[in-house]
Amino acid sequence: MSDSQTTPPHKKNRRVKSDIPFFLGLFGFAGVYLVLILSLLVANASFIDAEAIREAFTSEATLGSLKLTFLTCTISAILSLFAAIPIAYSLSRFTFKGKTFVDTLFDIPIVLPPLVVGLSLLILFNRLPDPDNSLEKWLNQHGIAITFHVPAIILAQFTVAAAFAVRSMKNTFDQISSRTEDIALTLGCNRSQAFWKVTLPQAHKGIIAAGLLAWARALGEFGPILVFAGATRGRTEVLATSVFLEINIGNLAGAASISLVLITLAILTILTVRLAGDRR
């Protein structure tokens, strides 16, 4: 039987169009954005020389800022995991009335302008329920200071970083089948035992990835810290605010040098998250 006899009439003389325009558009837009990112890195590097780097990282202020950054980011990332794991597990495994609304609430810190997060924290601690009986004053009476102190940095970083950790952990729990938990329940485990002995061990790489993501997010946080903790040299100065302070005194080379550290740390963290994700 010949081809003309087997080919349906509506497919006769049909020519497949070239994919060249599709791939030109695909790689064209991707290439433009990639060039923009690389241009930003080159622009930053062009402002840096060995002397600027030496000056920036031999100053006590910058070294203190570096130590405080690592300390606060690490604490914020750990706190983010404590919040993210139960929240993400609940959203992934249980269905309840208003779940979509509750799920949306956890995304608010992601979409809000950073300055608004800082302003909201400032008002929460210093104006509620009223200025004379605020939460900050109550904490001060018990020897605890938050606003414009180091705990304010951690709280500002945690508020935003935890939202990213929740998203990451929810994806992890969504990818873990609930069947193994169901089997554990039929074998005599209660819900808590099934979670600790079955689900959580399977999620360990996702937990590492979520922690690193929260750490990276805390590293880049600036707006909430500026409003809620301030940017005082040697007191509430982290790397992000160091860049701001160096720009304020006209030291662009110093600001670019500190930015290089932030960029390097961000790239290393993201690469680690990607590698952890690829090995799941």
Amino acid 124: pLDDT: 93
pLDDT at 5: 55
Q: What's the pLDDT at 235?
A: 85
Predicted pLDDT of residue 280: 55
Specify the length of the chain in residues.
280
Q: Spell out the domains of the chain, with CATH numbers in brackets.
A: 52-278 (1.10.3720.10)
Judge whether 254 and 52 are in contact, CB under 8 Å.
Answer: yes
For residue 29 the two structure tokens come to: 């837009």
- What does pLDDT average to in each consecutive run of 10 residues of the chain (280 residues)? 54 71 88 91 80 75 88 95 94 90 91 90 88 88 91 94 94 89 86 89 90 90 90 86 87 84 85 71
CA distance 203 to 206: 5
Please state, as a whole number, how many other Cβ atoms lie within 10 Å of the Cβ of residue 37: 9
